[in-house]
Amino acid sequence: MFLHFFGLGVCLFILLCIITILTLGALNKHLPRWFCDKMGWHLAPESIGFDGCSMNGTCPRCGEHVLQDSQGNWF
């Protein structure tokens, strides 16, 4: 009886892992763009310029012109 429940638990755990991996994969495809569009959180640019006042560049995820604030975040 114990082995039957153990086997069922293992199967449910594997199924849960597969569902989690698929869900994270789907979110990883759509959430990053959401962070740029809605939250204003951008990735660090590959090439960073300095215009005499601030560090700037282009977000590699959305292509928007971004600036770096005093704490090192890109907006």
pLDDT band, very low/low/confident/very high, at 29 (cuts 50, 70, 90): low
Mean pLDDT of 26-38: 76
Residue 19: pLDDT band by 50, 70, 90 thresholds?
Answer: very high
Buried residues in 19-51 as b, exposed as e (16+ CB within 10 A): eeeeeeeeeeeeeeeeebeeeebbbebeeeeee
Please determine, for residue 73, whether its predicted confidence score (pLDDT) is greater than 60: yes
pLDDT for 6 equals 74
State the chain's mean pLDDT as an integer: 83
As a whole number of Å, the CA-based R_g of the chain is 21
pTM over 0.85: no
Is 32 within 8 Å of 38 (Cβ atoms)? no
